Structure 1
Amino acid sequence: MSLTDCLDPVRKALLDDLDAGFAELYSEHRGVVFTTALRMSGAWSDAEDLTAEAFLRAYRALTGYDAARIAALQPRAWLLTILLNVWRNCARTRSRKPPPDLRDEPIDTPDPREGVEDAAVRRETGDELHALLGHLPAEQRAAVVLRHVVDLPVAEIATVLKVPQGTVKSHISRGLKRLRALGGAR
């Protein structure tokens, strides 16, 4: 029995051929990475940028990993850790720069496959959720998004955030309590 016999298909593919394996990694995890990025940033275009940057950094990191490290990788938790680090870095950079003139910003274009009513509901719900999540501290926001939007188990969230499971539960509980209070105040 070899090392690759007990691995999931993505890690096996990464070990066999990094480029083809990375395409498989991307296909399997792009949805969860984008959804997390969208809920953390609140803007479709920012989520696209964050997702692209996270996968770019993941690929660069994989080129330096040996077979044992790739075999031990937990792809979803690893990618979400990278994404949250990219998001924190972007947030830190934005806080140091003045906001751009919004008149120069392109307007988000709607998905042509989506109906007008569905787009309006999604936009309204997304904007409301983003506004509420924006009131949470970063740690609580990340924990709530990973648990209730992405539906990760607490153990995996602890791995992503690099904190104990009890801390994750605390962040989720406090975040939800604050969201309920904020939602009731509207």
Structure 2
Amino acid sequence: MTDETVDPLTARLAADLDDGFTELVRLHSGAVRGYLFRVTGCAATADDLGQDTFLRAYVALQHYSPGRRSQLRPRSWLLAIAANVWRNHVRSSARRPVHAAEINDACGGWAEPGPGPEERAMAVDDRGRLVAALSRLPDRNRSAVVLRFVVGMSNSEVAEVQDCPVGTVKAQVSRGLTCLRGLLQDETGRPREAAG
């Protein structure tokens, strides 16, 4: 990394950990929480795991030299920590299905203002189905799909977060999308279009 391409955030982290960390949380808490919300299906769990993610990040940064802090790729690094926190949570807790009430609560604020209440109701319903279908995907595929299409990371960034080759990510995303399509089909066998 040359002086001309120094990231202001990582420069701040290198110069003053506490000040830089405050900015790191401000800039990336939405992406971390969004990822955790979509893989867990529960806002309260996402908040708890998000706090754990940033706590682990701060502890790790305390042991990094200023030079190492200046070389971080903050978003990928934080999402890798969040993915590990989530996997640990899944391993340590008894898996339980996402309840319909949680999906309805979680999706209540997702409707974009639109032309009218009918369109908004349909969008909330479609998004609820999508959240429910996402919760039924295998963990690795769910994580890859959420990182790729919800967080908006490239395949190489997802590979970095999941610590696997890009080809593996492409396969996980492909399998996840195929599974989602199957889950979103209605009882007549016609594909149901998901809200954007």
TM beyond 0.5: yes
Q: How many residues align?
A: 175
- Give yes or no for contact 1:4–1:71 (8 Å, CA) kept in 2: no
**1:87 maps to what in 2?**
86
- Give yes or no for contact 1:4–1:12 (8 Å, CA) kept in 2: no
Name whichever structure is richer in helix by fraction. 1
**2:148 maps to what in 1?**
147
| Alignment gaps of 5+ in structure 1 | 103-107
Tell me the alpha carbon deviations over residues 34-90 of structure 1, each in whole angstroms, 9 at most, x when there is no partner: 110110110111111111110111011101101222122111111001001111111
CA–CA distance in structure 1, aligned partners of residues 123 and 26 of structure 2: 24
CA–CA distance in structure 1, aligned partners of residues 13 and 180 of structure 2: 40
Cα distance change of structure 1 residues 126 and 64 upon mapping to structure 2, 3 Å threshold: farther
Where does 1:99-110 land on structure 2 (aligned, <5 Å)?
A: none
CA–CA distance in structure 1, aligned partners of residues 123 and 29 of structure 2: 20
Shift of residue 128 of structure 1? 2.1
CA–CA distance in structure 1, aligned partners of residues 12 and 126 of structure 2: 38
CA–CA distance in structure 1, aligned partners of residues 134 and 162 of structure 2: 17
CA–CA distance in structure 2, aligned partners of residues 129 and 34 of structure 1: 18
Helix, strand or coil for the counterpart of 2:184? helix
**Partner letter of residue 46 of structure 1?**
T
**2:30 maps to what in 1?**
31
TM-score (norm 1): 0.82
CA–CA distance in structure 1, aligned partners of residues 21 and 3 of structure 2: 16
**2:9 maps to what in 1?**
10
**Partner letter of residue 13 of structure 1?**
R
Cα distance change of structure 1 residues 20 and 157 upon mapping to structure 2, 3 Å threshold: same
| Alignment gaps of 5+ in structure 2 | 100-104, 188-196
Cα RMSD for the two superposed structures: 2.8
Shift of residue 3 of structure 1? 7.1
CA–CA distance in structure 1, aligned partners of residues 120 and 52 of structure 2: 26
**Partner letter of residue 70 of structure 1?**
R
**2:39 maps to what in 1?**
40
Where does 1:62-77 land on structure 2 (aligned, <5 Å)?
A: 62-77=61-76
CA–CA distance in structure 1, aligned partners of residues 46 and 120 of structure 2: 17
- Give yes or no for contact 1:158–1:168 (8 Å, CA) kept in 2: yes
TM-score (norm 2): 0.78
